[in-house]
Amino acid sequence: MTALRVILGDQLNPRIASLSDVNKAEDHILMCEVGQEATYVKHHKKKIAFLFSAMRHFAEQLVQDGFNIHYVKLDDPGNTGSLVDEITRAVEIIDPSLVVVTEPSEYRVLQAIKSMDVGVNIDIRPDDRFLCTHDEFAQWASGRKQLRMEYFYREMRKKYNILIDDGKPTGGDWNYDSENRKPPKAGLMVPQTFASAPDELTQEVMALVADRFADHFGDLEPFHFAVTREQALQALEQFIDERLINFGDYQDAMVQGEPWMYHSHLSFYINCGLLLPLECVEAAEHAYRAGQAPLNAVEGFIRQIIGWREYVRGIYWLKMPSYEQANFFDADRDLPALFWGADTKMNCLKQCVTETKENAYAHHIQRLMVLGNFALVAGLDPKQVNEWFMVVYADAYQWVELPNVTGMILFADGGLLGSKPYAASGAYINKMSNYCKGCHYKVSKKNGEQACPFNYLYWDFLIRNQSKLRGNHRLSMIYRTLERMSEEKVDSVKMDSIRFFDALEAKQIV
């Protein structure tokens, strides 16, 4: 019996469920580069080059290991341009008695595969790279008034026995986040991120991307991502050896000219399968046990992976497809051109967009507290904001992008994922970065043309949405402060915001 085993672009691991019972002699493995996946949103050039190169390297490895590979390149004659049509075409060519696929990570692709009729059974297997199944998450969520990552995370720690000593959390506490908010200090020496020179195969892919996707956002060069499992393991090792020690302390810090900071830069590799989440977590725990990294750093890193990563995926599958439509604040402002690199006088936004364009990467606090904070307080349309975040980051797949954008930054789900909106004034950005020093605006000024726009947009957001937010007990202090604000001050907030929004709409440089 011949099976056709489909490997999607984000399933690049030999331990993937669809290969668990592969018969090397008889089965065929299908991988395909298709125009539709690269253009349904116009992904950053670096993301496409990264994924195509990683796919080709993975296929090459499978060939060396003796598998029958049916690999369709983007420019192969006959390439139909869509995943579904390529699977159909391969079924016609290979004539298997079964198609096996690991559940696609994105709802859109799962629906497309489920609705296929290729004349043979399609076996869709759970993706066991994730640490929590859909059923487990649904069970955990059922009956709870509020979903909170922290409680989910504790369950995951217990389930996988991670940072647990004698049944209790290592060090006595579950969470050391309060130790992970140090502002950057002058003269921080940030180690280089992992870099590998593009080999011949990657160069070929880069030429293809430069030719076919020239109008997509983002810089293709320099390209230094890992594109094989071996290289991704080196990137993991380099993070554990050189940056994990400071990951916790400076997790929220932003420094001009330092796009990578002490973060791991592993999301690209974990999300496409080159690394497995549990091996990253185990490497970090091992470093702690060996005395190489402090607990606040190790626990913080582990929480991101077995906590946040699994939690957002759980919410995605719990709430799709309606989650895509969520717009709690009825926000409808168009995404301004500054997100695509048009000039802006707001230095924090300029830095984060420029680095995003160069690297297809920004770290979490840049995404959350600069780009996301602006999208929230300016009332940008969730659909356009989601599309932007899907386009620009090399780690973006809808299962992880959508909950982070709709839930975490925009609060467009009304508080399902997080308990309050992450809105902040310029003071937060000034505390956690050195961006304000080089800015046209004055972070110390609350109103007027020179004032930092975040300072008045923050209050304008709270005023505009008070009917929806006043009942949120985590915002009660802030609303009491607003009540005590003079009428004159409230008027200045509104006037400054109107002036700012008018300028945005008139496409002036803000």
Q: What does the binding site for ligand DLZ look like in residue numbers (CB under 6 A)?
A: 8-10, 32-34, 37-38, 43, 48, 51, 83, 104-106, 109, 397
Q: Which of 270, 272, 436, 462 binds ligand FAD (CB under 6 A)?
A: 270
Task: Give me the least distance between CB of 119 and ligand DLZ, in Å please.
Answer: 22
Closer Cβ to ligand FAD, 267 or 425, answer by number: 267
Strand order in the sheet with 68-72: 68-72, 28-32, 3-6, 98-102, 121-125
Single out the residue of 412, 345, 342, 337 nearest to residue 372, CA to CA.
412
User: Roughly how many angstroms between the first and final C-alpha of the chain, as a whole number?
Assistant: 64
Which token pair is 284? 């970090």
- Residue 459 interacts with ligand SF4 (CB under 6 A): yes or no: no
Task: Give me the least distance between CB of 256 and ligand DLZ, in Å please.
Answer: 31
Closer Cβ to ligand SF4, 132 or 443, answer by number: 443
CA 295: distance to chain centroid?
25
Cite the beta strand spans of 17-67 per DSSP E.
28-32
Distance, in Å, from the CA atom of 272 to the CA atom of 474, rounded to the nearest integer, reads 37
Distance, in Å, from the CA atom of 255 to the CA atom of 78, rounded to the nearest integer, reads 48
- Residue 131 interacts with ligand FAD (CB under 6 A): yes or no: no
Closer Cβ to ligand SF4, 300 or 426, answer by number: 426
32 DSSP β-pair partners: 72
Which token pair is 497? 């915001």
User: What are the Cα distances from residue 242, in Å, to 34, 246, 284, 298?
Assistant: 37, 9, 12, 13
CB within 8 Å of 291: residues ≥ 6 apart = none
Task: Give me the least distance between CB of 360 and ligand DLZ, in Å please.
Answer: 12
Q: Which of 396, 417, 432, 510 binds ligand FAD (CB under 6 A)?
A: 396
Cβ-based neighbour number of residue 223 at 10 Å: 22
Q: Which of 169, 184, 307, 426 binds ligand SF4 (CB under 6 A)?
A: 426
Say which entry of ligand FAD, ligand SF4, ligand DLZ, none residue 34 contacts (CB below 5 to 8 A, set by partner kind). Answer: ligand DLZ
Say which entry of ligand FAD, ligand DLZ, ligand SF4, none residue 109 contacts (CB below 5 to 8 A, set by partner kind). Answer: ligand DLZ
Say which entry of ligand DLZ, ligand SF4, ligand FAD, none residue 417 contacts (CB below 5 to 8 A, set by partner kind). Answer: none
Task: Give me the least distance between CB of 213 and ligand DLZ, in Å please.
Answer: 9
Q: Which of 267, 344, 359, 386 binds ligand FAD (CB under 6 A)?
A: 267
The footprint of ligand SF4 (CB under 6 A) covers 346-348, 426, 429-430, 435-436, 439, 441, 443, 452-454
